[in-house]
Structure 1
Amino acid sequence: MSYLDELFSVTGKTALVTGAATGIGRMAATALIKAGASVMIASRKGEDCIKVASELNGLGASGQAEGFAGDVSSEAAIAALVGEVKARTGKLDILINNAGVSWGAPLESFPYSAWAKVFGVNVTAVFHLTRELLPLLDAAASDEDPARVINLGSVMGTQPLADDAYSYTASKAAVHHLTRTLALEFAGRRITVNAFAPGPFQSRMTAFATGTDEQARHVGGHVPIGRIGTPDDIAGATLYLCSRAGSYVTGAILPIDGGQSVQHGLTLFKE
């Protein structure tokens, strides 16, 4: 095994990625499978997950995928998902809490119900699913190779930016803080907890703004590095945090945003 393989391999690891039928979740799942992991892909649309798993298994990669329905929008649904996972494995090396929802409306008409719905999936479910899967994470954790949790935050949780998605941006800031809190609590259990804070990527959630190549170029023009994110950007971050390379990293909010998290319109002395 080469040095690079040894450092970044996830061969033999078992992972669960929620909301992995599309977007960033699918990108992360694909990376793990290509690098040798067995990945459970779950989202509300079970048929989509089965289809995606079949497509990923057709890549001829060293890992494998299994798709099934898994909802995180209620306590009962999370219990059902945990049951599905426990029926398939006795240990979980990697949990990626990727499932998320958004809601956009002008300030004047932003609905009360959009807060409970968005926080329920984006924050409450991250805490509750992670806690319910702790026995499986504990079973995989060791001093040499901690179990890994990655939560999906956002550049919108770092920057004071709403774009009419008031509950979404607040929920992602909450995800970042919860990530740091759990990182400290879980360190003694040898479980690392980190978050991605992505900028714009092509996904179902951002299809309204990045759905066409022309739209993607337009949005990319607002990013300091001049483009939107690609699957390889998520793949590199995923393999870093889930392999030996990232075993000493916990409590990090990793910006994958082409410089948006440090972007501002301020000048002090220059006009």
Structure 2
Amino acid sequence: MSIYVAGLFDVAGKRALVTGATSGIGRMIARGLAQAGVEVWVVARGADDVDAIVGELGGKAQGVVADVATEDGIARIAEALGDRPLHILVNNAGTDRPTPLDAEGREDFDAVLGLNLTAPFLLTRKLLPQLEGAASPGDPARVINIASIAALNPGHLENFAYASSKSGVAMMSRHLGRHLAKRNISCNAIAPGLFPSRLTEQFLGMGEADEVPKAFVSPLGARAGEMDDIAGAVIYLSSRAGAWVTGVLLPVSGGISTVS
């Protein structure tokens, strides 16, 4: 690899905080960043899960046990970071609950929007001092929100809360991109397609092992996303290569919802 290319995508020495980092896409992102030389702070609700991923990442990895859907959890994260500069914030924690049209009540709908949409905004707002501490005109601090291809296409599932929350994440990222620019902070969103996770195991388990259901077969192949796919997108947005990018929604789906 040329020195130029290596430097263009170099993120070594930066500090990142990843929510929902103990499973699925969050774990892939945390592992990818750690392997790229980033000091990764992992956040999740389960203490045992946090300890396990911190042990796996090694190096300077740190863990914070917190529920980002609560004010106490967000305060605990900010307290743990203290005045350390934060170069990269990855708002990944998310959930889905059935919200069929003919159901009653609002608890499930509110819970999905609370974790998927409200929590990323509140956590970003809380960590602005740490982000500003790492920001400079040539190398902005980065906020990366994990949306979904559900923000691009309503699909066939009655996942009204999930799709609405991820659409909100996409617009919120553009809005934050505009208003954080003056603070030398960029904000972008990634819209993953099918990746192995707790939310997608119901789909990956519909056929033979590792078989991708027809609805999720992309123009680039019948497979689920892998660590390099999502970690590569995060590293691009976090590196010099992505320093002049803000307010975008980057689909990482093999073409689903973009060319199919």
Flag the 1:215–1:107 CA change in 2: closer, same or farther, 3 A. Answer: farther
Q: Distance in 2 between matches of 1:212 and 1:4?
A: 41
Superposed CA offset, 1:63-86 (max 9, x none): 632223121111222112221222
The 1:216/1:108 distance shift into structure 2, 3 A limit, reads: farther
Any idea what the Cα deviations from partners look like across 1:4-53, whole Å, max 9, x if unmatched? 22111111101100000011111111111111110000101122011111
Deviations 1:163-184 (A, max 9, x none): 1211000000000000000000
- For residue 247 of structure 1, what is the amino acid of its counterpart? A
Counterpart of 1:92?
86
* Contact 1:224–1:258, Cα closer than 8 Å, also in 2: yes
Residue 172 in structure 1 maps to residue 173 in structure 2: no
Q: Secondary structure at the match of 1:95?
A: strand
The corresponding residue for 1:101 is: 95
Q: What do the CA deviations read for 1:68-126 (whole angstroms, capped 9, x no partner)?
A: 3121111222112221222xx52100000000011124322264111110111111111
CA gap of 1:203–1:213, structure 2 versus 1, over 3 A, is farther
Stretch moving more, 45-54 or 126-135 = 45-54
Q: Which residue of 1 aligns with 2:251?
A: 255
Select 2:125's aligned residue among 116, 127, 131: 131
Q: CA deviation at 1:233?
A: 0.3
Alignment of 1:224-263 (within 5 A): 224-226=219-221, 227-263=223-259
1:146 maps onto 2:147 in alignment: no
1:9-48 superposed matches below 5 A: 9-48=10-49
Classify the secondary structure of the residue corresponding to 2:224.
coil
| Aligned-partner SS, 1:148 | strand
Residues 69, 41 of structure 1: alpha-carbon distance in 2 compared, 3 angstrom cutoff: same
Distance 2:62 2:18 in 1: 11
Matches of 1:188 and 1:124 in 2, distance apart? 23
How many Å apart are 1:208 and its aligned residue? 1.5
1:60 corresponds to: none
Deviation at 1:2, TM superposition (A): 2.0
Distance (Å, rounded) in 1 between the aligned partners of 2:167 and 2:90 = 17
Name stretches of at least 5 consecutive residues in structure 2 with no aligned partner: none
In 1, are the aligned partners of 2:64 and 2:77 still within 8 Å (CA)?
Answer: no
Alpha carbons of 1:64 and 1:103: their partners in 2 closer, same or farther (altered >3 Å)? same
- Residue 161 of structure 1 and its aligned partner are, at CA, apart by 2.3
The number of residue pairs the alignment matches comes to 257
For the 8 Å contact 1:18–1:70, the answer to whether it is kept is no
- TM-score, normalising length from structure 2? 0.93
Q: 1:111 to 1:218 in 2, by over 3 A?
A: farther
Equivalence for 2:149: 155
102-111 or 241-250: bigger deviation? 102-111
C-alpha distance 33-110 of structure 1, shift in aligned 2 (>3 A): farther
Q: Return the alpha-carbon distance in structure 1 between the equivalents of residues 208 and 251 of structure 2.
A: 24
Q: Distance in 2 between matches of 1:175 and 1:162?
A: 20
Note the alpha carbon deviations across 1:137-166, whole angstroms, 9 max, x for none: 001000111100000100001112251211
The DSSP-based 3-state class of the residue aligned with 2:211 is helix
What's the TM-score once normalised by structure 1's chain length?
0.89
